[in-house]
């Protein structure tokens, strides 16, 4: 069986390292990028099995932009957006309806400081493993 490739994108090197460690411990291949620009370059060269994007990087909506681009190029690739937008801005951001998820083009939104077991469960659901 092929090892599933997960593209992880976050401009916070500590969080990127933590997510990479989690994903590798789960038995997946982790491909990392620390910016929207680097992620776009990687997406032009390969098709991941799943993507996990930070929301706010170079742009306040980098995660949404990446999600849109992935879904346009690879509609079947699940996307998780992980963000600390609520903690950083004080604004409650929690997409709940199908139209919210359709608008942001992501399959799942999670608040940062995701536990490894929680992330593993959601990845398995989206990859149907």
- Domain regions of the chain by residue span: 5-127
CA distance readout (Å), 107 to 45, 71, 126: 23, 10, 8
Q: What is the pLDDT of residue 97?
A: 57
Name the CATH superfamily for 5-127.
Answer: Response regulator (3.40.50.2300)
Q: What is the pLDDT of residue 72?
A: 93
- Choose among 114, 127, 125: nearest CA to 19: 114
Q: How far apart are the first and last CA of the chain?
A: 12
pTM: 0.86
Q: What is the pLDDT of residue 68?
A: 93
- pLDDT value at 20 more than 60: yes
Q: What is the pLDDT of residue 91?
A: 53
CA distance readout (Å), 57 to 47, 48, 60, 85, 126: 22, 20, 6, 11, 24
Query: 8 by DSSP, 3-state: which?
Result: strand
Q: Could you tell me whether strands 50-54 and 29-33 are parallel, antiparallel, or unpaired per DSSP bridges?
A: unpaired
What are the phi and psi torsion angles at 112 (to 5°)? Answer: -60, 165
Q: What is the pLDDT of residue 117?
A: 92
Task: Check: CB of residue 90 under 8 Å from CB of residue 110.
Answer: no
Give pLDDT tens digits for 76-99: 999 999 887 544 545 555 555 555
- pLDDT value at 100 more than 80: no
Distance between CA atoms of 19 and 29, rounded to whole angstroms?
12
Q: What is the pLDDT of residue 79?
A: 95
Give pLDDT tens digits for 30-76: 999 999 999 999 999 999 999 999 988 887 888 889 999 999 999 99
């Amino acid at each position: 069986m092929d090892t599933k490739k997960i593209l992880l994108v976050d401009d916070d090197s500590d969080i990127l390292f933590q997510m990479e460690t989690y994903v590798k411990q789960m038995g997946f291949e982790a491909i990392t990028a620390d910016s929207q620009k680097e992620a776009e370059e990687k997406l032009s060269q390969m098709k991941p099995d799943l993507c996990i994007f930070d929301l706010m990087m170079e742009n306040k909506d980098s995660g949404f932009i990446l999600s849109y681009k992935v879904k346009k190029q690879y509609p079947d690739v699940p996307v998780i957006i992980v963000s600390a937008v609520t903690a950083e801005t004080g604004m409650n951001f929690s997409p709940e309806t199908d139209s919210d998820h359709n608008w942001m083009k992501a399959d799942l939104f999670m608040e940062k400081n995701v536990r490894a077991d929680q992330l593993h469960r959601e990845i398995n659901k989206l990859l149907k493993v």
